[in-house]
Amino acid sequence: MEGFKKIANVVNKIGRLRKDSKNPFFKSQYLSLNAILDNLMPLLEENGLLVVQPIIDDNLTTYVIDIDSGETLLRSNFKLTNQTDPQKRLAECSYYRRGALQSIFSLNIIDDDGESLANRKEGKPTFKAEPGKPILEDFSKIEAALQGGFVMDLNTVRAKYSVRPEDLPKLEALIKKYS
């Protein structure tokens, strides 16, 4: 597998990640570095990739390395501040490590906070996914399966995904189109 195909394979397999930690100061949730690494590391290993994130000359640098070829496929740099408090410096590094991994691997993070805030401002009720079911946001996979001859109905889709009420007509029309 060529290097960038390996990265693409990781991006395609990682799926959506749910925020797992709370920030009491901002009263918000975020996806922790540990959760990112727990989900990412097995896929990196499976695809022969290595990620290292050293601090070099006041930069937090993230490297994605193809283990088979030894080639550095991607590099990301974050310039660190002149922070002298060690605890604040470590927090800054953790923040940049998360940001680099989210960016490099196009992590799709379920943003319940943002959706809840937007809906509160617009007076809409907040849509909550059913436990263990991602919210169906991208209809392209459903359409591709239908085009490929996979037979499904609305109940089949709803067994796997949480579907927003406003998306039901679109989903029904798509299923009807290929029935």
Tally Cβ neighbours within 10 Å of residue 154.
13
Give tens-digit pLDDT for 115-165.
Answer: 444 544 455 556 666 776 777 777 777 777 777 777 777 777 777 777 777
Where in the chain are the domains? 3-113, 129-177
Question: For 40-50, what is the mean pLDDT?
Answer: 95
What is the rounded distance in angstroms from the CA atom of residue 30 to the CA atom of residue 5? 29
Question: For 161-171, what is the mean pLDDT?
Answer: 79
Question: For 22-44, what is the mean pLDDT?
Answer: 84
Give tens-digit pLDDT for 60-80.
Answer: 999 999 999 999 999 999 999
Predicted TM-score (pTM) of the model is 0.59
